[in-house]
């Protein structure tokens, strides 16, 4: 089976009711990154950071996968699909995708504030101040903050380098290292870009731009891919 690598961003979950970051009315319109999504913010005001991610978790737990998530899951019948997502929601898994790399972590797990490798499931939607890991350190959301390393990036680079087909869905490509992953996909590989506002990717070869929302565009790409199968 051909290896189909899909890099997703907040746009794929927009139609599930989760806000993107940089669109008008995006999350970063209402919050400063420096106040809620950095190690410095956590040191300065852990309660605020905890509350920010508790609210995100509540919204994620209430959200349902949409047609785009389901279409990607269905493609597993015909392709070796690997999803690399920048999203911290679990909607790809909710739709049935079995091979998902979470570059920026996943909000439904907690992590030790001393050791990022110690992660735990969360009961309910809230991590409370005073809840500690096995080392006795405060638990925080299992998400990668600005200024932290992205532990899964090397694996993601390897996956991209092995792609036979590539799809990019709903990301502004504003944040590195995720945005650089396209550079590891071979020039010959067809790259389907689904976004109502296609990001600037002029240096990338073999791009097919589908200027649509995810629920329309991903289904179109799935149709193209399935019809070109032998
Ligand atoms: N379908 C598809 N794409 C959409 C839709 C939709 N319905 N609605 C919006 N988009 C597109 C926008 O046009 C934009 O290109 O989704 C993209 C969202 O971009 P960002 O808000 O920048 O989100 P993302 O690229 O995922 O951000 C990357 O930034 O703050 C960090 O850690 C956070 O993982 C996140 C990273």
Give ipTM to 2 decimals: 0.99
Q: Report how far residue 4's alpha carbon sits from residue 166's, in angstroms, rounded to the nearest whole number.
A: 6
pLDDT of residue 230: 78
User: Over 90: is that where the pLDDT of 25 sits?
Assistant: no
In angstroms, the CA 7 to CA 83 distance is: 6
Strands 191-194 and 165-169: parallel
Quick one: pLDDT at residue 177?
Answer: 95
Catalytic residue among 69, 92, 102, 104: 104
Q: In angstroms, rounded to a whole number, what is the distance separating the alpha carbons of residues 105 and 56? A: 13
Q: Is 202 exposed, middle or buried (0-12, 13-18, 19+ CB in 10 A)?
A: exposed
Which of 26-35, 105-114, 149-158, 191-200 is predicted least confidently?
26-35
Question: Is the minimum distance from the CB of 112 to ligand 1 under 6 angstroms?
Answer: no
Point out the annotated binding site for NAD(+): 9-28, 86-89, 170-172, 214
Q: How confident is the model at residue 92, as a pLDDT?
A: 98
Name the residue of 149, 172, 201 whose CB sits within 8 Å of the most ligand 1 atoms, as the mutation to test its pocket. Answer: 172
Thinking of the domain 19-62+106-143, which architecture would CATH place it in? Answer: 2-Layer Sandwich (3.30)
Residue 210 has pLDDT above 90, yes or no: yes
* pLDDT for 158 beyond 90: yes
Residue 43, sorted as left (phi over 0), alpha (psi -120 to 50) or beta, turns out to be: alpha
Question: Where in the chain do CATH 3.40.50.1220 domains reside?
Answer: 1-18+65-104+151-230
What's the pLDDT score for residue 30?
85
Residues of the chain with CATH 3.30.1600.10: 19-62+106-143
Structure tokens given for 54: 């508790």
- Does residue 202 register a pLDDT over 90? no
Share of the chain above pLDDT 90, in %: 93
Q: How confident is the model over 88-143, as pLDDT tens digits?
A: 999 999 999 999 999 999 999 999 999 999 999 999 999 999 999 999 999 999 99
Facing residues of 166 across strands?
Answer: 5, 191
**Active site includes 104?**
yes
Helices (H), the chain: 11-14, 27-30, 33-36, 39-44, 46-62, 67-74, 91-95, 153-161, 214-227
pLDDT at 29: 84
Q: Is 196 in the pocket of ligand 1 (CB under 6 A)?
A: yes
Mean of all residue pLDDT scores within the chain: 96
- CATH, domain range 1-18+65-104+151-230: 3.40.50.1220
């Amino acid at each position: 089976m051909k290896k189909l690598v899909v890099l997703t961003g907040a746009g794929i979950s927009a139609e599930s009711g989760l806000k993107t970051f940089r669109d008008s009315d995006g999350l970063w319109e209402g919050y400063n990154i420096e106040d809620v999504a950095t190690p410095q913010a956590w040191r300065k005001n852990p309660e605020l950071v905890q509350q920010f991610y508790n609210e995100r978790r509540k919204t994620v737990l209430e959200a349902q996968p949409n047609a785009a998530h389901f279409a990607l899951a269905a493609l597993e019948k015909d392709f070796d699909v690997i999803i690399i997502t920048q999203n911290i929601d679990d909607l790809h898994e909710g739709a049935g995708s079995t091979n998902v790399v979470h570059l920026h972590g996943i909000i439904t797990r907690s992590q030790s504030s001393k050791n990022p490798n110690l992660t735990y499931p969360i009961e309910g939607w809230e991590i409370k101040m005073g809840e500690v890991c096995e080392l006795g350190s405060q638990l925080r959301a299992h998400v990668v903050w600005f200024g932290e390393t992205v532990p899964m990036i090397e694996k993601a680079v390897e996956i991209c380098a092995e792609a036979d087909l590539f799809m990019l869905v709903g990301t502004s490509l504003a944040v590195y290292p995720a945005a650089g992953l396209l550079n590891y996909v071979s020039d010959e590989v067809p790259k389907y870009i689904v976004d109502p506002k296609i990001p600037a990717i002029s240096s990338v070869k073999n791009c097919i731009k589908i200027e649509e929302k995810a629920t329309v565009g991903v289904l179109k790409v799935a149709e193209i891919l399935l019809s070109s199968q032998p």
